[in-house]
Amino acid sequence: MSDLKFGVDKPTAEEREAIDDFISGVGPASIKVNERFVVGGRSRAKDRRRLLLPALHELQSTSGWISPGGLNYICKVLGVPPAEAYGVATFYHLFSHQAPAANEQIHVCDDVACRLQGAEELIKDLKESGYEAKSSPCLGQCERGPAVLIQRIKGKDLAVVAESPKPLTVKNIDKALKENASSEQVTIPQRGTDSLSLLARVGVVNPKSIKEYQEKNGYEALGIALNVGPDKVIEEVTASKLSGRGGAAFPTGVKWRAVADEQGRPRHIVCNADESEPGTFKDRTLMEGDPFAVIEAMTIAGFAIGAEQGWIYIRGEYPVAEEHLKNAIEEAKREGLLGSDISGSGFNFDISLYKGAGAYICGEETALFNSIEGFRGEPRNKPPFPTTHGLFGEPTAINNVETLVNVLPILRNGGSNYAMKGTENSPGTRLFCLSGRVENPGIYEHEFGITLGEVIEAAGGVKDSKEIKAILLGGAAGSFVTAEHLHLPLTLEATREAGVSLGSGVVMVFDESDDLPDTVRRIAEFFRDESCGQCVPCRVGTVRQEEVLARFTQGTSFASDEELLEDLSTVMKDASICGLGHTASGAITSAINLGLLERTT
């Protein structure tokens, strides 16, 4: 790759300066310092390449787009072929490829929950007021839709939701811009209740203060871990029977043991904070309200599996969570709880924060690795699995934010103690994301085994005492159920038996007045937009699936459409590379089976 050819476009002075500053800040210098334990082998050649994604963010926020001159300059500095860098930049929806028409780009969520709250009208109003507004998939703030992300040139991004139960208006956007502030967003209706474990501190302590964190059991678990040693930590996690909360419910203890037993070095622990499953906002709530818990849990995980480097991959639409995590990392370092020789134990551990740029698929673990490494976020074929060939091809444990935070009570109270909550095969508590037509939307913590009906009751029941038409359980990758399922106990085993899934804990309620065919079509559109495009069954299949549903909502269906939809579903499930293709038809098939697409009026 010695003689790469670059284009003729030059960066502006401002772009050059921003990129130079960025590279000298986090670039070669810090690579050198960390190299001792961070990079080795195959990754050495890639230590520049992995600066590509953050460099693109730098360029986007400096100029408002990925300008040819700016991209060219990045390519020269990092030694990346321009065609490849362009391929990476065009993969992400938060990077623009046209010179900006305005100082701010407003992304309005018109996904499943927000379109019930007038998202489409808001987009129209914003455009009429002269704003550059466009629709966005779920922004992870479904409890108070329609949600908005404001992306700005040379200013921090703002996440805006309504302050009151009334939906957002153009005035709220004006105000947020004037005050240069994101909205207060964490909604924990059970706040301060004694039974809370994962949410005990959320909304109670100041998320920016390590002191307040420590006063409320913070860093006790790390102390215990350093005391008992890595093997005992994994033993406790295994005894707790903790399973992954990112969707697949894989036993965490088994995953950690596998990585700890690998000979290869370095090893990595990755925190999957890409949370982009429509209807999901639990990880954001944890990161915004209790960021030190995420940092402490990752440190423990790193200690247990023998990793000296941790990575957090957070979706690009979470400016508040990002800021709180950054602060937590800095504070923890200042207190000697992160960095070299943590608490005098001899254990070294550091955390890098990577920011996504608008791509649901980057939540898939191997796509996430590619994204950090500076490549397109395309999933890899499995096997091999991350435990042996993960980030940079090295042994890696990757866990969801909520999964990691569970490790703290497990260590503090013991694994078998933890397993007493919940049910035999689904121990512990779980976060549920309630949105749609419930009285009190927000994040709830319940023991596994609670029924679906009880979960909805705890959120104040259906809004305005209307009839439930359908419930989206587990997210867009989950499935629809109806009032017939209200007695279903929410455990891994019971949901599996019922042919549904808890997924990421989404419980989104629709009432009799809601337009379900439109909701189902929007879900199909989501998968069409978010497919990475790598494999044929999903790249074209999600398009054809959305076309069938669009024809249906327009009343122009073909006679053979039902059969086509079934075939598409079978083949996407059977022949796609990754979970996106495997689950892209699940909610749609369930809606059809439940008769939700039949028009009653």
Partner 1 sequence: MNEIPVGTPRSKIEIQIDGNLVKAPEGSTILDACRQEGIDTPTLCWAENLTPVNVCRVCVVEVEGSRTLVPSCSRPIEDGMVVSTDSDRVRKSRKMVYELLASSVDMDRSTSEVKDWMEHYEVDSDRMGEKTEIATVAQPPKVQDSLYVRDYERCILCYKCVEACGEDAQHTFAIATAGRGFDAHISTEFDVALPDSACVYCGNCIGVCPTGALVFKTEHDMREAGTWNEQDQEVTTTVCSFCGVGCNLELHVQDEKIVKVTSPADHSVTSGHLCIKGRFGWQHAQP
Give me the residues that bind partner 1 (CB under 8 A), please. Answer: 1, 4-5, 7, 68, 71, 81-87, 90-93, 359, 376, 381, 528-537, 539-544, 547, 558, 560, 564, 567-568, 570-571, 573-577, 582
Nearer to ligand FMN, 331 or 365 (CB): 365
CA distance 460 to 192: 18
Choice from 19, 147, 233, 401 touching ligand FES (CB under 6 A): 147
Look at residue 528 and give the partner it binds from ligand SF4, ligand FMN, partner 1, none, a contact being a CB closer than 5 to 8 Å depending on partner kind: partner 1
Do residues 554 and 569 make contact, with C-beta atoms less than 8 angstroms apart?
no
**Among 536, 540, 538, 553, residue whose Cα is nearest residue 583:** 538
Report the nearest approach of ligand SF4 to the CB of residue 570 (Å).
14
Nearer to partner 1, 92 or 480 (CB): 92
Under the binding rule (CB under 6 A), the answer on residue 111 touching ligand FES is yes
Look at residue 113 and give the partner it binds from partner 1, ligand FES, ligand SF4, none, a contact being a CB closer than 5 to 8 Å depending on partner kind: ligand FES
CA distance 397 to 301: 9
Report the nearest approach of ligand SF4 to the CB of residue 578 (Å).
3
Look at residue 531 and give the partner it binds from ligand FES, ligand FMN, ligand SF4, none, a contact being a CB closer than 5 to 8 Å depending on partner kind: ligand SF4
Nearer to partner 1, 170 or 540 (CB): 540
Under the binding rule (CB under 6 A), the answer on residue 387 touching ligand FES is no
Nearer to ligand SF4, 534 or 590 (CB): 534
CA distance 37 to 22: 22
The helix (H) or strand (E) run that includes residue 508 is strand 506-511
Do residues 158 and 149 make contact, with C-beta atoms less than 8 angstroms apart?
yes
Look at residue 247 and give the partner it binds from ligand SF4, partner 1, ligand FMN, none, a contact being a CB closer than 5 to 8 Å depending on partner kind: ligand FMN
**Among 587, 359, 590, residue whose Cα is nearest residue 477:** 587
Choice from 23, 39, 51, 138 touching ligand FES (CB under 6 A): 138
| Residues at the contact surface with ligand FMN, assessed by CB under 6 A | 244-248, 250, 272, 274-277, 361, 363-365, 398-400, 403, 578-580
Look at residue 68 and give the partner it binds from ligand SF4, ligand FMN, ligand FES, none, a contact being a CB closer than 5 to 8 Å depending on partner kind: none
Under the binding rule (CB under 6 A), the answer on residue 236 touching ligand FES is no
Report the nearest approach of ligand FMN to the CB of residue 574 (Å).
16
Report the nearest approach of ligand FMN to the CB of residue 493 (Å).
17
Look at residue 16 and give the partner it binds from ligand FMN, partner 1, ligand SF4, none, a contact being a CB closer than 5 to 8 Å depending on partner kind: none
Nearer to ligand FMN, 62 or 280 (CB): 280
**Among 553, 558, 540, residue whose Cα is nearest residue 588:** 553
Torsion, CA 441, CA 442, CA 448, CA 454, rounded to 10: -20
CA 393 to each of CA 39, 84, 242, 377, 565: distance values in angstroms, whole numbers, following the listed order: 11, 20, 26, 15, 37
Nearer to ligand FES, 224 or 575 (CB): 575
The helix (H) or strand (E) run that includes residue 496 is helix 492-497
Do residues 320 and 141 make contact, with C-beta atoms less than 8 angstroms apart?
no
Choice from 578, 587, 588, 592 touching ligand SF4 (CB under 6 A): 578
Do residues 75 and 59 make contact, with C-beta atoms less than 8 angstroms apart?
no
Choice from 109, 123, 177, 205 touching ligand FES (CB under 6 A): 109
Neighbour order of strands in the sheet with 158-160: 132-136, 104-109, 148-152, 158-160
**Among 448, 9, 463, 487, residue whose Cα is nearest residue 198:** 448
Look at residue 162 and give the partner it binds from ligand FMN, ligand FES, ligand SF4, none, a contact being a CB closer than 5 to 8 Å depending on partner kind: none
All residues at 6 or more sequence positions from 449 whose CB lies less than 8 Å from its CB, including other chains: 422, 423, 426, 489, 490, 491
Report the nearest approach of ligand FMN to the CB of residue 578 (Å).
5
Q: Which of residues 452-471 bind ligand FES (CB under 6 A)?
A: none
Report the nearest approach of ligand FES to the CB of residue 240 (Å).
30
Choice from 139, 159, 342, 431 touching ligand FES (CB under 6 A): 139
Report the nearest approach of ligand FES to the CB of residue 113 (Å).
4
SS3 158: strand
Phi, psi of 313 (to 5 degrees): -110, 105
Nearer to ligand FES, 110 or 331 (CB): 110
CA distance 441 to 89: 36
Under the binding rule (CB under 6 A), the answer on residue 296 touching ligand FES is no
Two structure tokens written together for 12: 């502006």
Q: Is the dihedral of CA 49, 156, 60, 3 positive or negative?
A: negative
Q: Is the dihedral of CA 17, 22, 28, 30 positive or negative?
A: positive
Under the binding rule (CB under 6 A), the answer on residue 538 touching ligand SF4 is yes
Choice from 581, 586, 590, 592 touching ligand SF4 (CB under 6 A): 581
Nearer to partner 1, 372 or 577 (CB): 577
**Among 102, 153, 157, 93, residue whose Cα is nearest residue 131:** 102
Two structure tokens written together for 235: 């033993």
Two structure tokens written together for 581: 């293709």
Report the nearest approach of partner 1 to the CB of residue 138 (Å).
17
Neighbours of 59 (CB within 10 A): 25
Under the binding rule (CB under 6 A), the answer on residue 266 touching ligand FES is no
Report the nearest approach of partner 1 to the CB of residue 510 (Å).
27
Under the binding rule (CB under 6 A), the answer on residue 142 touching ligand FES is yes
CA distance 138 to 393: 31
Choice from 531, 545, 583, 585 touching ligand SF4 (CB under 6 A): 531
Amino acid identity, position 80? V
Look at residue 145 and give the partner it binds from ligand FES, ligand FMN, ligand SF4, none, a contact being a CB closer than 5 to 8 Å depending on partner kind: ligand FES
CA distance 62 to 42: 32
Nearer to ligand FMN, 53 or 580 (CB): 580
The helix (H) or strand (E) run that includes residue 389 is none
Q: Which of residues 357-386 bind ligand SF4 (CB under 6 A)?
A: 361, 379
**Among 276, 438, 437, residue whose Cα is nearest residue 356:** 276
Do residues 185 and 287 make contact, with C-beta atoms less than 8 angstroms apart?
no
Do residues 240 and 418 make contact, with C-beta atoms less than 8 angstroms apart?
yes
Report the nearest approach of ligand FES to the CB of residue 283 (Å).
13
Classify residue 458 by its DSSP letter: H
Q: Rule CB under 6 A: which residues touch ligand SF4?
A: 361, 379, 531-535, 538-539, 576-578, 580-581
